[in-house]
């Protein structure tokens, strides 16, 4: 996802290892049996693109974002960097050597540079929210019943994970790397003072068998497997959840809010907190759990738009005045079940992109839609005890001294300002969806991306550097590449659309050419032939070798083209859900979408502190752009049929 990309471009490289199971191993030595079910053909390695190819593509992406004079300077710097005896050639050789000795030359660098070395807060800046289809709860029973079904649905999904039978994803005829699917349950990021680590407890010899439930800032451990290792059923889970709620009627000190802090600050506080034996044990139970479930109260400060309210709750929990203390943001999967019916999750991004998370949600929704509706009724009227004797949920205690209390107060202040700054507008665009775009023989994703470019141009009168995530899971341990969606063609298209002097045919021509340019870049990106990961590798190779960071990375062309004012991502889901996240830069927008047959769900974000950006204005410009493009395509299509 776009979230950490700007940060990594500023980052250095210090170490390239990931902690697992108390031992240290590199990401590229992950057991290959975790890749797929059965015995599939081995996936190819992520390529190291040819240096000249990358530099040519790079210059093309810089051009629309700089002046002619600036472009000439960038061109000169790139020429020097890329000549056969230049620094680029030496660094390129290092990447090619690394490729020979690793399964994926980028994997270990990436996990550190994109995540574990980033010291900003996870909240807003890194962890996305995923809003589930909207539901309404009238009573506590409704809420607990739904929470129990979410838990049961996840445990049902986990059977496929444990048995390694998760259906293999495909892109066209290519099978995709599945390793991310095996890393999202039982995983936790552990704060460090200068770098975090990540632990995959689910892959340890004695994997966790419990979840943690948060309510009123209290944390409880619930064992979710009964006799013979069978998962608890919905009725048993409701019983356990009710026990938690009854034992936590008043809010307690919000220790969880510490996980919203800047990572260095949290890293220090964590060390302090862990000194106490009771705290240490509680921390370990939270970190080890399969996943966390936060039972929240109603939305604080509702906006009047329930989709936006849900998104904000998933992204930041309504801050210190709301439920941010009722979270553990280091945990990979954290479900949120609100009192009135907002349901979703927030996830820590280090181990996976959105698609495996959306896939888990789709499974949960199928599970819920196919399960009987009367569990709560049964719980009330059935006098029999639950089927197996249940272990009472264990309260996880924290001893909070003066120093930690102060850290909590500091965390509240820092979060309050972040929460106050983020604004979002989420909506279902109902004008049309993928079906219409396909009927016009255009790529739906490229069409939406060009609508985003047009919306930006419409508001700002200039193009915005634009990040879209492309999956590189065709390759072993592949993660993402950036699609630089802003191109000379996208700018020409935006200008054409806004020019009343041009006729429909000219606009349609500009639209097709912008879409083709985007699709072409996207295809290169999914084939590991984009610009950004290669440049990152060259930069990190220089840093690792103790060399100066090449001038190319300090040049205005580089800085401007990587100041991603648009951070965007397609996360499709089978159900009416959408993902959302904060912008990547202070004067930017976040925009995540789930394109469906006849509609598109959008989650848009911006910062209040930027006088230039506003998510509601962006929504209007985006809807207008989509409809204008629709009309241009439709008119042109009709004309060609005459
Ligand atoms: N005419 C008709 N149909 C077309 C078309 C055309 N010209 N071009 C594409 N289509 C069809 C495709 O065949 C596809 O059909 P399907 O729905 O039957 O599969 C559909 O339209 C969608 O294709 P398109 O919109 O072009 O792209 P995509 O869905 O393949 O998405 C990416 C493109 C880049 C988003 C995708 O490859 C990717 O990498 N996704 C992962 C992103 C990610 O990781 N996000 C999470 C970050 S946290």
The confidence score (pLDDT) of residue 371 equals 81
Q: What is the pTM of this model?
A: 0.93
Q: Enter the tokens of residue 511.
A: 């639209």
How far is C-alpha 319 from the geometric centre of its chain's CA atoms? 20
Question: Closest Cα to residue 218, out of 299, 303, 292?
Answer: 292
pLDDT tens-digit series, residues 532-542: 999 999 999 99
The residue whose CA is least distant from atom 32 of ligand 1 is: 470
* Ligand 1 atom nearest 445 alpha carbon: 25
| Residue tagged 């059977």 (tokens) | 159
Tell me which residues of the chain have a pLDDT lower than 70: 1-41, 373-388, 640-642
* Ligand 1 atom nearest 483 alpha carbon: 34
Task: Measure the CA–CA gap between 611 and 418, rounded to whole angstroms.
Answer: 16
186 CA → ligand 1 middle, Å: 31
| Residue tagged 């289809």 (tokens) | 133
pLDDT tens-digit series, residues 175-184: 999 999 999 9
Identify the active-site residue in 218, 349, 363, 518. 349
The confidence score (pLDDT) of residue 1 equals 43
Task: Measure the CA–CA gap between 511 and 243, rounded to whole angstroms.
Answer: 58
Which distant-in-sequence residues (6+ apart) come within 8 Å of 563 by Cβ?
Answer: 6, 465, 585, 588
Which one of 4, 570, 579 would you pick to mutate in the ligand 1 pocket, going by the greatest count of ligand atoms within 8 A of its CB?
570
The confidence score (pLDDT) of residue 373 equals 65
* Ligand 1 atom nearest 444 alpha carbon: 25
* Ligand 1 atom nearest 354 alpha carbon: 48
173 CA → ligand 1 middle, Å: 13
443 CA → ligand 1 middle, Å: 7
The confidence score (pLDDT) of residue 637 equals 81
The confidence score (pLDDT) of residue 141 equals 97
Task: Measure the CA–CA gap between 77 and 82, rounded to whole angstroms.
Answer: 9
The confidence score (pLDDT) of residue 387 equals 57
519 CA → ligand 1 middle, Å: 9
530 CA → ligand 1 middle, Å: 17
According to DSSP, the β-strands at 197-200 and 210-215 are unpaired
CB atoms within 10 A of CB 402: 7
Question: Closest Cα to residue 322, out of 212, 410, 216?
Answer: 216
The confidence score (pLDDT) of residue 372 equals 72
331 backbone dihedrals φ, ψ, rounded to 5°: -75, 140
83 CA → ligand 1 middle, Å: 36
CB atoms within 10 A of CB 431: 12
The residue whose CA is least distant from atom 31 of ligand 1 is: 445
Pair 150, 25: CB distance under 8 Å: no
The confidence score (pLDDT) of residue 200 equals 97
For the chain, how many residues are written? 642
The residue whose CA is least distant from atom 11 of ligand 1 is: 443
Q: How far is CA 19 from CA 24, 204, 234, 355, in A?
A: 5, 12, 35, 24
Buried b (16+ CB within 10 A) or exposed e, 204-213: eeeebebbbb
| Mean per-residue pLDDT of the chain | 92
**Does the annotation mark 349 as catalytic?**
yes
Which one of 438, 440, 478, 480 would you pick to mutate in the ligand 1 pocket, going by the greatest count of ligand atoms within 8 A of its CB?
438
Question: What residue ranges line ligand 1, CB within 6 angstroms?
Answer: 1, 353-355, 438, 441-446, 469-471, 480, 522, 526, 569-571
The residue whose CA is least distant from atom 12 of ligand 1 is: 443
Q: Enter the tokens of residue 276.
A: 């106490």
The residue whose CA is least distant from atom 3 of ligand 1 is: 438
């Amino acid at each position: 996802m776009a979230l950490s990309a700007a940060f990594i471009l500023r980052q250095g490289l210090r170490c390239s290892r990931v902690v697992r199971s108390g031992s240290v191993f590199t990401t590229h030595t992950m057991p290959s049996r975790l890749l797929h079910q059965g015995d599939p053909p081995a996936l190819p390695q992520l390529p190291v693109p040819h240096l000249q190819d990358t530099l040519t593509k790079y210059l093309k992406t810089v051009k629309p974002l700089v002046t002619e004079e600036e472009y000439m300077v960038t061109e000169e710097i790139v020429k020097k960097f890329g000549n056969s005896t230049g620094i680029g050639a030496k660094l390129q050789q290092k990447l090619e050597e690394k490729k020979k000795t690793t399964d994926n030359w980028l994997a270990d660098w990436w996990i550190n540079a994109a995540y574990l070395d980033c010291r900003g807060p996870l909240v807003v800046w890194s962890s996305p929210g995923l809003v589930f289809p909207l539901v309404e709860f009238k009573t506590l029973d409704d809420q607990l019943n739904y929470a129990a079904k979410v838990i049961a649905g996840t445990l049902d999904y986990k059977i496929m994970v444990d048995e390694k039978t998760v259906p293999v994803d495909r892109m066209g005829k290519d099978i995709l790397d599945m390793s991310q699917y095996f890393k999202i349950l039982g995983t936790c990021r552990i704060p460090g003072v200068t770098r975090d680590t990540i632990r995959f407890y689910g892959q340890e010899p004695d994997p966790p068998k419990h979840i943690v439930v948060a309510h009123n800032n209290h944390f409880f451990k619930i064992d979710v497997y009964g006799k013979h290792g069978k998962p608890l059923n919905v009725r048993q889970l409701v019983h356990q959840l009710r026990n938690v709620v009854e034992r936590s009627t008043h809010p307690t000190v919000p220790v969880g809010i510490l996980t919203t802090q800047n990572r260095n600050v949290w890293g220090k506080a964590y060390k302090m907190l862990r000194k106490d034996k009771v705290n240490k044990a509680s921390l370990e139970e939270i970190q080890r759990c399969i996943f966390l479930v936060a039972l929240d109260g109603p939305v604080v400060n509702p906006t009047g738009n329930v989709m936006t309210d849900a998104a904000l709750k998933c992204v930041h929990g309504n801050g210190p005045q709301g439920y941010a203390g009722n979270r553990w943001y280091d945990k990979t999967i954290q479900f949120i079940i609100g009192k009135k019916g907002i349901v979703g999750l927030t996830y820590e991004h280090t181990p996976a992109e959105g698609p495996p998370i959306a896939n888990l949600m789709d499974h949960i929704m199928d599970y819920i839609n196919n399960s009987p509706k009367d569990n709560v009724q049964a719980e009330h009227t059935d006098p029999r005890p639950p089927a197996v004797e249940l272990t009472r949920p264990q309260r996880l205690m924290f001893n909070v001294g003066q120093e930690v209390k102060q850290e909590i107060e500091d965390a509240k202040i820092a979060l309050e300002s972040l929460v106050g700054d983020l604004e979002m507008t989420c909506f279902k665009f109902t004008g049309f969806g993928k079906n219409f775009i396909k009927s016009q023989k255009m790529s739906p994703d490229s069409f939406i991306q060009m609508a985003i470019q047009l919306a930006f141009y419409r508001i700002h009168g200039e193009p915005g550097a634009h990040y879209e995530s492309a999956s590189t899971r065709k390759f072993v341990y592949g993660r993402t590449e950036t699609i630089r969606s802003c191109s000379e063609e996208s700018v020409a298209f935006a200008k054409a659309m806004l020019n009343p002097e041009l006729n429909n045919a000219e606009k349609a021509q500009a639209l097709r050419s912008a879409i083709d340019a985007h699709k072409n870049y996207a295809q290169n990106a999914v084939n590991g032939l984009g610009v950004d990961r290669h440049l990152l590798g060259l930069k990190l190779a220089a840093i690792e070798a103790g060399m100066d960071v090449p001038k190319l990375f300090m040049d205005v062309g580089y800085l401007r083209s990587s100041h991603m004012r648009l951070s965007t991502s397609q996360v499709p889901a089978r159900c009416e859900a959408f993902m959302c996240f904060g912008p990547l830069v202070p004067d930017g927008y976040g925009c995540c979408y789930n394109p469906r047959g006849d509609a598109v769900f959008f989650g848009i974000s911006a910062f209040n502190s930027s006088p230039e950006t506003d998510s509601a204005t962006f929504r209007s410009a985006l809807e207008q752009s989509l409809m204008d493009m629709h009309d241009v395509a439709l008119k042109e299509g009709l004309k060609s049929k005459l």
